[in-house]
Amino acid sequence: MSVIRIGLAGFGTVGSSVYHNLLKEAELIFQRSGVRLIVTAIARRNPRRLRPGLPRSLLVPKVEDLVSSNKTDIIVEAMGGCGMARDLVLSALKAGKPVVTANKALLAEHGKEIFREVARHRTPIYFEASVAGGIPIIRSLKEGLLANRFHLIYGIVNGTCNYILTKMSKEKIPFEVALKQAQELGYAEADPSFDIDGVDAAHKATVLASLAYGGCVDFKKVYVEGIRHVSTIDVQFAHQLGYEIKLLAIIRSSLPSIEVRVHPTLIPKTNRLAYINGVTNAIMVRGHIAGDIEFSGPGAGGNATASSMISDIAQAAVQFTHAKARHFSSDGCGLPTMTLSSNDPKVMNIKNVVSRYYLRLTVTDKPGVMAQVSSILAKARIGISSVIQPEGHEGKSVPLIFMIHDARNDAMEQAISKIQRLNCIKAKPVMFRVENFES
Ligand code: HSE
């Protein structure tokens, strides 16, 4: 019988859930994998915090001790962040100890360095839990959809933002109130910036794009726009037009480059993602052989994340036992994706991206306003697909909403800056992209 010994870094929500579920489901995991998984050492980022259920006998003083210990075979990184976690992962790989992590920030921002070490030391890293928590999207892309080219991948990959936007949509409450509720329920951090500014979703998009197209996508080139500026009024106008506003990660093949972007997006109510509510995540993958495949489920939380991490630990353990001769493939799951490549995919600059738009202007209610705005759009060769001036907004300033046909982002930005300078415009124009999910 093979016994694999685990060094666990981090005993917060995720780390403790990995530990307890490994104990609770030990028999099931053994039956299915043929390997006994035993946590033999635990280190924490903050040693002063004593979480209930922490097995003190397993504590080691420092995170580095997990790697140097002769009682660990595999390192599980559940600390988060890019400081200590990066050092731990790099030193584990160097020491030939396979790594399991949920750390999308680390993979997105230091992927090149990490995968260089993976290749150099022929020691794998597993990261199923890094995108969409409990949804097995990584293995599906790498194995289940192996024969496919991916024209389009899009998804709701941040539960915090989806919770906030769902509340704004269903209860017509402002962003700040919805954010406060999310914080009270533990769905948003005290400092929610990473989530609401789109950074977390952009990390996940970077990981997905790297897997889908090979090489390491440069996170710094990914366009990111968060949801702070989404207002209830736009959510309600979007409704009237047949859309929901969601924070969407979009990865699209647009040869010779790829689009990788995260921003609030109007999604037609004919698309199932419009009905993904609360903290749930959903990802749609368009494979050229398989067609459209949808995944949805819990994207965060201790148990959902632990479910994916335990699957990785079992996989790492099975490979470890079969490959004492160190015949690991380059990244651990058998497929040579996300390795160092001279052909890292090139991310298209947002200014070249073509999409449809929702544009809300606040204008003086006088004859000729529409003509002035449409003249600027016409000169920029930007087509209007519909215009509404909703009733019930009488006063000095009224909303005027344009739905715009496909246009390049830079052309749209230039037109908006000209529109903004018109005397009839009384507030900063609001623009959101609209997706119809064509390849
Ligand atoms: N904070 C993330 C979310 C989960 O709200 O989806 C961890 O990536």
Cα 156 to Cα 299: distance, rounded to the nearest angstrom = 9
> Does ligand 1 have an atom closer than 6 angstroms to the CB of 130?
no
> Does ligand 1 have an atom closer than 6 angstroms to the CB of 195?
yes
pLDDT, residue 255, reads: 87
Among protein residues, the one whose CA lies closest to atom 7 of ligand 1? 300
Tokens of 107: 């993979």
> Does ligand 1 have an atom closer than 6 angstroms to the CB of 199?
no
Residue 76: pLDDT above 90? yes
pLDDT, residue 336, reads: 44
Is residue 155 within 8 A of residue 283, CB to CB? The reply is yes
pLDDT, residue 341, reads: 60
Tokens of 344: 């890292």
> Does ligand 1 have an atom closer than 6 angstroms to the CB of 117?
no
Question: 41-58 burial, b if ≥16 CB within 10 A, otherwise e?
Answer: bbbbbeeeeeeeebeeeb
Residue 3: pLDDT above 80? yes
Place of tokens 């050092």: 87
Tell me what the pLDDT averaged over the chain comes to.
93
CA–CA distances in Å: residue 289 to residues 31, 148, 255, 367:
34, 6, 19, 53
> Does ligand 1 have an atom closer than 6 angstroms to the CB of 259?
no
Residue 327: pLDDT above 90? no
With the most atoms of ligand 1 within 8 angstroms of its CB, the residue from 156, 161, 195, 203 to mutate is 195
CA of 181 relative to ligand 1 center, distance in Å: 16
CA of 157 relative to ligand 1 center, distance in Å: 8
With the most atoms of ligand 1 within 8 angstroms of its CB, the residue from 104, 130, 160 to mutate is 160
Query: If you write DSSP's letter for every residue of 338-386 in order, what string do you get?
Result: SS--TTPPPBPPGGG-EEEEEEEEEEE--TTHHHHHHHHHHHTT--EEE
Active-site residues, by number, are: 204
Greater confidence, 337 or 251? 251
pLDDT in tens, 350-408: 999 999 999 999 999 888 999 999 999 999 999 999 999 887 777 789 999 999 999 99
Q: Name the pLDDT band for 16 (thresholds 50, 70, 90).
A: very high
Cα 180 to Cα 271: distance, rounded to the nearest angstrom = 29
Q: Name the pLDDT band for 96 (thresholds 50, 70, 90).
A: very high
**Centroid of chain to Cα 204:** 3
Cα 392 to Cα 398: distance, rounded to the nearest angstrom = 9
